[in-house]
Structure 1
Amino acid sequence: MAALRTCLFSPAFSTASSSGRPRVPNAPSIVSVVGRREHRFPVLKSTTAPRPRLAVVRAQNRDAQSKANQPPAAGGHFHEEIKRITQHHRDIISTDGGFLYAEATAMSARVCISALEALDMASLVLDSARLNLGEAGEISAETIHGTVRPYAALFSAAAEDAYCRKVNRNTVVRFLGALRGVAAVSHIMLEGALEALSHRRPREAVSEYAFNSDVEDMYREFEQGMRQVEDDIRNASAVATCKLAVPVILSGTKFAGSFVGLMVDRRRRVVEKARSKSPV
């Protein structure tokens, strides 16, 4: 029963390649095999300009260390959380656990990196909230901050679990749920910006609504993909959960990052049009 609750990243649950190096899934095409079923996060399609990139971290510790040493991105939100996770990451990669635990160390370090990326994502959403137009129907920046902060706490909790080597099924499900929460907020904020534009510049709002007509399908695709993987993890055996935990967290973070980056980018476009002084 205890095995169903806790996964300690022991060498018994190895996912290393034949070369001896831990494999890193290429998001968003994560393969999470539960039983005989293969599930892949879909690739979001967009017709917009290139969306903002979240930090992409390689498997090698030197690249992960470089990321951990960078200052908080996107306005410096969640400073204490980032500082604590960065220290956890440094402690993890500086500890020599021997050859048998090398992969477990790498996996723990990667969860910390994903937590940092997720906090960067949450920061992007908070920065976007500062662009509010002041229309009556918009959600205030304070409300957005209060909504996003609990999700940030779950990202931090996952890093704590990784530091203590006790990542389990609940860690993964909660992390994915928090990613979905941040994505949902970014989606709602884009909808609010479109409505605000319709009040200020009705003619331009028509074209922007048309331009963003694919958003609902993308959001539905995103939700379905994340929910399916959550269900897969919930129904997985203890051994399968341990094998899938870190790849799912890494790829889920990048999948959510693509969606959130797209929502933030499109919202910025809408807000800029709403603030434009050019004639309608």
Structure 2
Amino acid sequence: MDPRGSACFVVFAAAAAASPGAGDGSPAPRRRPLPEEGTADDHPAQQRRPPSHQLSRKFQDIIEELQHCADELRARRSIKKDDMYGQGRMLALTLLKRAKDAIGLASTIMTGAQLRAQTPSEISLNTIDQTVRMYVSTFVKTAEDTYHRKVDKATVLSFLCALQGLAAVSRILFEDALASVRSIQPDYSPKRDVEAINRNYQQEIQCLINKFGEASTTEALEILHCTVNDLAQKVSSYVTIMTTLRTSTLAHVPGRTIASCDAAPPDDRQN
């Protein structure tokens, strides 16, 4: 293994170890702060930043490392067709790209979570942080296994289930916001049929998961590429809808706050 390639996963290991139940209990290597980031001691203002801001920065670091690894895989001549489920370099690049996209999606959720209703029953940022970290650790493991050519069917299923987990977090955040608004405006209703959106999403996702999970090894090989891409795209679309709906819903809460800038919420009326 190229030493440079192994170094790509120093940040991955640190992120996975930060998640509940991740790793084998050994201390993870500490990432050197980026020059503009510094440490909390160097910048006291950093200590006052919410966990969502700090986690978003860490996600960005991981995304950049994933890109480096993808670039290296593209340059490799040693990946043969019998590697990575018989699909070779293209499948490896697809899994790396989707892992990178998933971590970016997690970052989007955490950024949106900074908008707070400030109601007593609201889900805490710490709870969101811990939950999202758990799923990110799976995305990191997928990328690591991909790079080291250790992907199997279980790896892919874990990745797909973690993607579903992100979608569930975005839905819970929206429903939490909706409950906050209805506590002061009982008749409030989103301008979209959320139940229909949820129902269609669940049916499409469950169909993909079941088809892949029940497939034989040979069949799984044939549908692997399209399964990963289709499910990732559907989850991304769903998370975008839920995040947009949550933002526009919280616009109806007079005391809402945001950890950074309180940008004008987008209109939730979409075609």
User: TM class by shorter-chain length?
Assistant: 0.5 to 0.7
Once the two structures are TM-superposed, the CA of residue 111 in structure 1 deviates from its matched residue by: 0.9
| RMSD after superposition | 2.5
Q: 1:99 to 1:151 in 2, by over 3 A?
A: closer
What code does the residue aligned with 1:109 have? L
User: Which of 147, 171, 184 is the aligned partner of 2:131?
Assistant: 147
1:128 partnered with 2:112? yes
Q: Alpha-carbon deviations, 1:170-213, whole Å to 9, x = none?
A: 1221111111111111111111111111234x1xx624x2524x
User: Which of 199, 203, 207 is the aligned partner of 1:228?
Assistant: 207
**Structure 1, unaligned runs of 5 or more:** 1-73
Aligned length: 199
Percent identity of the aligned residues? 26
Q: 1:244 to 1:164 in 2, by over 3 A?
A: farther
Q: Could you state the TM-score of these two structures normalised by the residue count of structure 2?
A: 0.67
Secondary structure at the counterpart of residue 116 of structure 2: coil
Q: Alpha-carbon deviations, 1:51-95, whole Å to 9, x = none?
A: xxxxxxxxxxxxxxxxxxxxxxx9434244324322321211111
Once the two structures are TM-superposed, the CA of residue 242 in structure 1 deviates from its matched residue by: 1.9
8 Å contact from structure 1 (residues 168, 242) kept in 2: no
8 Å contact from structure 2 (residues 122, 180) kept in 1: yes
**Structure 2, unaligned runs of 5 or more:** 1-54, 257-271
Judge which range, 221-230 or 131-140, deviates more.
221-230
Q: Alpha-carbon deviations, 1:123-182, whole Å to 9, x = none?
A: 111111110111112101111011111111111111122212232211221111111111
Q: 1:241 to 1:194 in 2, by over 3 A?
A: same
8 Å contact from structure 1 (residues 176, 226) kept in 2: no
What code does the residue aligned with 2:139 have? F
8 Å contact from structure 1 (residues 193, 270) kept in 2: yes
1:105 partnered with 2:93? no
What residue number does 1:181 align with?
A: 165
Q: Could you state the TM-score of these two structures normalised by the residue count of structure 1?
A: 0.65
1:248 partnered with 2:227? yes
Alignment of structure 1 residues 155-166 onto 2, 5 Å: 155-166=139-150
User: Which of 68, 74, 77 is the aligned partner of 1:87?
Assistant: 68
Q: 1:168 to 1:211 in 2, by over 3 A?
A: same
Secondary structure at the counterpart of residue 206 of structure 1: coil
8 Å contact from structure 1 (residues 133, 271) kept in 2: yes
